Every structure is written in C-alpha cells, then in structure tokens.
A and B are shown apart, each in its own frame.
Chain A
Amino acid sequence: MADATDPIVEVDDLHKRYGDVKALDGASLAIRTGTVYGLLGANGAGKTTLINVLATLLVPDSGTATVGGDDVVHRARAVRRRVGLAGQFAAVDGYLTGRENVEMVGRLYGLGRRDARRRADVVLERFNLADAADRRAAGYSGGMRRRLDLAASLVGRPEVLFLDEPTTGIDPASRVDIWTLVRALVSRGTTVLLTTQYLDEADELADRIGVIDNGRIISEGTADELKDALGANAIRLRVREPDVERTRLVTAGFGGSVSETGGQFDFPAAEGNRTLLAILRRLDDEGIDPLDLALERPSLDDVFLALTGTPHVETPEP
C-alpha cells in the first residue's frame, strides 16, 4: 500500500490541442491518496479533457500523467484496473435493469459471475437502489441514473474515482445524496478527483481545490488558502438605483476586479478595514448613501473572479 502522503495521481505539464483550441495547456497537479481533489472551472476550461486523459480515454499531445505510478498512456491497462469513471452524461444503459448495468461493468472489471452479482447487490444497496434494481434504468429519475452510474463505477472497487461533474443537471436533493455518498467513499480510503462548476460543491467536498482556466491550473490550495490568497477580505456594497452610475466610478478607483449585479458591488479589500473606511469616505464625498456596506470574507466566487477575470456564471440547468 502506498504511503498516504504519496500522491496517487500525478499530472505533469499536460498539453492537448484540438485544432486551434488548446484544451490542456500545461496542466499539472498531484493528488494525495485518500483525499478529494476538486477541479473547479467554467465550461470549456479543460476539466473533462483532463479527466479523459487520466481515465485513458484520450492520449495527450505531450506531458505525463500517472495513476498509482502507472503511466496513463503506456500502462493504460494497469491504470484502468485502478480507476473508476462516472461521467457527466451518466453512461447507463436504459434498456438494462439497474442490476444488469452494474453486473456488466463488474464482469468487464474481470470479476467472475458470482462476484459480480454479489458486489452489484452490495453497491446497489449502499446507493439506495436495491428496490429499483430489477427495473429498467430508462425509467429511473436523473438522480437515480447518476447514482447508478456511480454504483457501476465502484463495483470494481477502484482506488481512484474520477467524477466528472457528478451533480450537473440534477435536483438539489439528489445532489446532497451524491455528496453524502462521495464522503462515505473517501472515508473508506478511495481517492476522488471531482470536477465541478459549482463553487459550493468544491467548498463542500474537496480537500484541495485546483482552479482550471484555459487548460491550466491557475491556482491551487485548500478552500481557505485560496480565500486567504485573495487578501482575506472583500467588500460588498449595495446602493440605490440612481447612485449606481457614480458608484461605479468610485469603486473603479480602488483597483482590483469589481463584480456588479443590479446595484450590488463586490470587490477585494486589499487593506481590510482601511479600504472600508476609504470607500466610505469617497461615497460620502460623492453624496452617495449606501444601502448596505460590509466587509466580508471572500467566497470562492470572489476567488474565481479574481483568478479568471470573469465572474463565475452557473450554467442554467438543461
């Protein structure tokens, strides 16, 4: 068994290009055994490409990636024994029952018929699908399909589980279910690499978070470290509609990136309370009476904004 402090997944300077698009542009990261690594990025940032390389579905143009010391290109078969993949589009066969789906994957992991059946029973039970196990998956709800997909990816007891946007497009209750399941897995020693567009999901589950943008990891750390790196604090200011125009000019003078939504301004407070005081003074000079002005600890949203220069937009549910 590898030492718990050794990285089980190592990615070094991966490049992958599709025509003119650099899907991966020097991505590097390391994941320690038994931890959850959250890969946070917008659509098209390179999350899925990175997962696909690690799951041996895609060969990178350059750079290396290993899982448990095995190279994903040259020892792909060994890697496939160690990993499980639950994709963004749950690869569940609607014409098969839940049990048949899981058993099939178990058999393809190399399990014998009896083992596959026994383990299918166990994971279906654990994922609350025992009652629906003999119904065709086509009749499952979105959340059930995700759980079934997850169950199937675990039937081979992978050391490392790749979860590509496991909760995109499912209802909030199922989302919380999936979170609970992921936490339970980690407590059993599984290492998880999770991609997400949802900041709260990364905050909730991940031990370490890597922010990916344009195919590279632009920042990495615990949620707290990322927030601290931002200067610890942020200012949230709300003004009345007629004052918005002038407030915009005021906040622009404070540098940093300002995000503005309907009369609410969020921006980093480089010097904490002094920045707060300064802005209060400037507002007073301008005769602007703020509705609300507060110094706040930054959210991951602020981190995202500061790092990528674009406000984080949650994609509408399909």
Chain B
Amino acid sequence: MTATAFTDVVTRPGRLFIDTWVIVKRNLLRTVRLRQLLVFATIQPIMFLLLFNYVFGGAIGASIPAAAGGNYLDFLLPGLLVQISAFGAGQTALGLTEDLSNGAIDRFRSLPMARPAVLAGRTLADLIRNAFVMSLMLILGFAIGFRYSTSFVEFVAGVAVVLLFAYAMSWVMAAIGLKVRNPEAAQTAVFLPVFPLVFASAVFVPPSTMPSWLQPFAENQPVTVVAEAARGLMLGQGALGPGQTVAGQVGLAIVWCAGITLVAAPVAVWVYRRSTR
C-alpha cells in the first residue's frame, strides 16, 4: 500500500484551482454530450431573435432611440444578449438540482476536494456555455444585418458586461437551485425572478412606452442597466436616454453585477454548506 499517496497534495489555493477546473470540465462534457440541452439552449434564443426582430420589429422600430437608426435589430440584439444570459443562468439551478438528486453532490462532498470548487466549477462552466450561445446569437445577428456603430473593442466590452451579468445571475440561480433541490420545482422557480426582470425592462422596448407606475422599476432594474450599458458600448451615446452616459451606464452595470455576485455567492455557499446539517 502506498501510504504516501496524499503527500503530494497541492497547497490550498492550487487545489481550489485544479478542483474547479476538474468540475468545469465535467460539466462542459455533460453539456456537450447532453445534446438536447445544448440544442434547446441555442434554439430558444435564436427563435427570440428572429421572432422579435421580424414580428415586432416593424411595430417597435418607430419608438426606439435615434442612434439605432430606426433599425430595431441594432436595438434588440444587445438587450437580447442580456435576456439569454438570464435564461441561460437558469441552467445553473437545474444542473445543481440534478447533481443533488443523482448523488453526485454527495460523492463530491465525501472527497477531500476544495469545497467551493463544486459551485465555482458549476458557475464557470455555465458562463462558458452562455458565452458559446451568445457567440452563435451574434453570428446570426451579424448575418441578418446587425452592425455595431462603435469600435470593435467597445463591442467586445459590451459582450463582456453581459457575461459579467450572466455570471452574477448564475450565483443567484445556484442559491435557488440548492434551496429548492427538486429538479421539477427548480424548473419553475428559476423563471419567477427572470420573467419580470427580462420583460419589464429595456430589452425589447424602451421603458418610456410602459405605464408610468412600471417605468421606475423598468428603468432602474439590473437587466435594463446592463442592456443599456451593452447598447451604449455597441451603438454609442445616441442609443441611450437623455441624461445617461455610456461610462455611467457601464459603471452602474458593473456595480449591479458585483453587488449581485457579492450577495448571491455567499448565500449559495451558505446553503450548500448548510445542507450537511
């Protein structure tokens, strides 16, 4: 017997990094091999893009800010990226409930691995999947006529802000999934916060078209802030409302993302740890 098997244990920060990577790889392999999941995760946003652009585009086009040049697609796509990042984050909850019910989490818990790696690996893998789906959306968007009117660097920065939001939402969904535990229930639970955030926002239409009681929420909630930050970065100052600056919206978006992560991640970790009681 090799009693020395574990003397080669790497120092703790190193362990966290390696274990997180092992979990990321495992989750990505699952995603790639679970074809339906990947296909639906891709088809749904593509449908949204095509339906909203071609069905509502004509009607909504008139009420959008001038910088989008009356082109609804330019207005829609940055917001739609935020929408699919929020929907995509729901997979974090579903994946975790599945791991809870099939015994995978119990196995991870019984191993001498870095504990935060299970959640860190899950949220990172979901971020990568989200980035993949977003690139497909962008490719399709470009194909049907989307053009950014700023520089390439600003365009990429716009995508990065949305990914930051996707990551923050993943932690919210992790907390929900760990709390709900049941995969079927999680299916519904994840959409409860997501639907109002996504639709009562500036993703599809400018909030100024909404009833006055809804406007304060629609104008200030995180999905809107992030969508406007992305829009500003991709389309420039003219795409924003009066009194807003690109830098201001981006700063606000980063604060929202950081704030959500700083609250949701400790909650998720706490729920994860508590379930050993």
Contacts and interface: CB of A to CB of B under 8 A. Distances in A.
Interface of A: 1, 52, 55-59, 77, 80-81, 83-85, 87, 89-91, 93, 95-96, 100, 104-105, 107-112, 136, 152, 156-157, 188-189
Contacts of A58: 276-277
A91 B33 CA distance: 18
Contacts, number: 86
Contact of B34 (A83, A95, A107): A95
Interface string B18-44: 110010001001100110000000000
A83 B106 CA distance: 13
Q: Which of B29, B104, B110 is most buried by chain A, counting CB atoms within 10 A of its CB?
A: B110
Given A81-B6, A110-B15, A100 B111 contact: no
Nearest to A105: B111
B52 interface: no
A56 B18 contact: no
A80 B110 contact: yes
B112 A80 contact: yes
A157 B2 contact: yes
Contacts of B109: 55-57
A91 B10 CA distance: 26
A168 to B, nearest CB: 14
Contact of A85 (B8, B19, B107, B276): B107
A193 B29 CA distance: 33
A91 B106 contact: yes
A122 to B, nearest CB: 12
B103 A87 contact: yes
Interface string B122-154: 000000000000000000000000000000000
B96 to A, nearest CB: 14
A87 B106 contact: yes
A57 B106 contact: yes
A104 B103 contact: no
Given A95-B30, A107-B18, A56 B110 contact: yes
Interface in B1-17: 1-3, 5-6, 8-10, 15
Chain A's interface: helix, strand, loop or mixed, by majority?
loop
B276 A59 contact: yes
30 contacts: A1-B3, A52-B106, A57-B106, A57-B276, A59-B277, A80-B110, A80-B111, A81-B6, A81-B112, A83-B110, A85-B110, A87-B103, A89-B103, A90-B103, A91-B106, A95-B29, A96-B30, A107-B18, A107-B22, A108-B19, A108-B113, A109-B6, A109-B113, A110-B6, A110-B8, A110-B113, A111-B5, A112-B8, A156-B111, A157-B5
A32 to B, nearest CB: 17
Interface in B79-131: 102-104, 106-113
A109 B102 contact: no
A306 B3 CA distance: 43
A312 B34 CA distance: 42
Contact of B112 (A96, A110, A157, A189): A110
Contacts of A87: 103, 106-107
Contacts of B108: 108
Nearest to B22: A107
Contacts of B6: 81, 109-110
A110 B103 contact: no
Contacts of B112: 77, 80-81, 108-110, 156
Contacts of B2: 157
B70 to A, nearest CB: 47
Nearest to A60: B277
A157 B1 contact: yes
A119 B6 CA distance: 14
Contact of B104 (A85, A91, A189): A91
Contacts of B19: 107-108
Contacts of A52: 106
Nearest to B111: A108
Contacts of A81: 6, 112
Contact of B1 (A84, A100, A188): A188
B13 to A, nearest CB: 14
Contacts of A108: 19, 22, 108, 111-113
Given A59-B277, A77-B112, A81-B112, A105 B107 contact: yes
